[in-house]
Every structure is written in C-alpha cells, then in structure tokens.
Amino acid sequence: MSHQLEQELLTVAREAADRAGALLRDGRPADLGVAATKTSPIDVVTEMDLAAERLITGFLAERRPDDGVLGEEGASTVGSSGVRWVVDPIDGTVNYLYGLPSWSVSIAAERDGETVVGVVTAPMRRETCHAVLGGGAYLNGERVRVRAAPPFEQALIGTGFAYLAERRAAQAEVVKALLPRVRDIRRGGSAAIDLCDVACGRLDGYYERGLNPWDLAAGELIAREAGALTGGRPGGRADGDLTVAAAPGVFEELQRRLEDLGAWHD
C-alpha cells in the first residue's frame, strides 16, 4: 500500500472519528434512552449510536465512495476499491447511556482483508490513538509503547463481559480463577479503549470473549503497533471466541492460562 493511500485513509478515519466524537460529546440529550436492544435486554442501542453511525458512513461515502463499510448498527456495503471500513460508532454504549466517560469511537480501514489503519477516539478522555500498519502507535500524536512485562503475578489485566446471562456466568468463573494469579483485573466497558490502554502501558494485558470485528479491528492494530502480541486461542488470530492482547512476556502466560480455563467457550 502506498504511503499516499495510507495517509489518506488515516486522515479520513481521524476526521470521521473526530466528527462523531464531537456529536456524541456535545449532542448527548439529557433524557437519552434506549432505542433498541441486541443480544439481550441489557445489550442496548441508543439513538446516538444510530446518529453517529449515520454521520460516519455519510462522511465515508462522500470522501471514499468506492469503499465498503461494516458498521455495528447495520451499515453494510461491499465496495469496489479493496478498502473496507469497520466502524463502531460508540464502543461502550452502556457507559455512554449512564454518563460514564469510558466510551469511544472506533474506526479501522482494511485493505484486501488486512487492517491497515486504526483510530480510536475517546472524547471524554481527550485522547485519540491511531496506528498505520508498520508505522507504530500514537496517542495524541506522541509515540507509545507497551509496558515492560512484569512477573505474571504482578500483571494488571483488563477484560470485558458479554450481555448473555449464560456467557457472563462462564466469564465470571474465568475471572474467579484468574484473579488470584495476577495483580488485579479491570473491567472498563470499552474493548477499543482497553486495547489502547495496553498500547499505552496502562494495562499489561487484556482478554475478552465475544468481540465483534468492529470492537477489535482498530484497537488490535494499535496494540500490535505499540509492541503488543495479539491473538486468540494458541496459534489462532483474535476473533469472537477469544481476543488476547498483552506485552511480550505476559501474553504467552495469559493465553496459556485462558486456554486451560476454557475462556474461549461458554
């Protein structure tokens, strides 16, 4: 991929994320309510999720009309350019609904199936992380790297939970077994932010079952470009069964323990 195309995709992704972030930050109504539900009654969509996705997809159609789009809230076009945008208009919708600050806009660009650009904007944290494949990871324009690996028992690990009761029960059992083996476990509520926190050295590792492409595409690239190892089950890629991202030296042990605990199934 040419440098010119890389920079064009990055510029488009950053502007789309900035515009959506401003809409979500400044346009959130005081009486914000649930517009729809997805996997369960507690897996919600707000009117602002829908508005932000419309803004992003409209902007992408204007700037890159031949590209495909995959959006969490239903946007799906094939395109003819070989580029596909993977969009999560609000990653952390429940946080957003409750007025908690840990939510983000996540936009990734894939070329021929490989993620080449990732942008995650967290407006309430005043932070934007971005990465271009092979070009490193950045937070507000400054290069970031993963934290040097501590002994596993001193690792701070992030995770997230699904909204299906059966899966949540299985995830609780994994946490119960893992928690005594590490420094602590954090649950922030936005997978994209968690992956960026691994990139910035705020977490030593992160894992979650049940992520969708829009949850992880941008954040995984940012984590990898910051020096993290990422994957799913041993030998596999990060996917809906399991996503793991961690500093080298933590990743291997975390992945092994998650495999032993059956974290990849309910």
pLDDT in tens, 9-46: 999 999 999 999 999 999 998 889 888 878 877 777 88
pLDDT of residue 34: 87
Residue carrying the six token digits 């609904």? 97
Q: Tell me phi and psi for residue 60, to 5 degrees.
A: -65, -40
CB atoms within 10 A of CB 225: 23
pLDDT of residue 38: 80
pLDDT at 250 over 80: yes
Which CATH architecture describes the domain 3-144? 2-Layer Sandwich (3.30)
pLDDT of residue 37: 77
pLDDT of residue 75: 79
**CATH 3.40.190.80 domain span(s) along the chain:** 152-261
Alpha-carbon span 144 to 142, nearest angstrom: 6
pLDDT of residue 83: 97
pLDDT of residue 33: 85
Higher pLDDT, 34 or 182: 182
Could you tell me the fold of the domain covering 152-261?
Answer: D-Maltodextrin-Binding Protein; domain 2 (3.40.190)
pLDDT of residue 223: 99
**CATH 3.30.540.10 domain span(s) along the chain:** 3-144
The mean pLDDT value for 155-173 works out to: 96
CB 213 within 8 A of CB 253: no
pLDDT per position as a tens digit, 114-146: 999 999 999 999 999 999 999 999 999 999 999
pLDDT of residue 89: 97
pLDDT of residue 211: 97
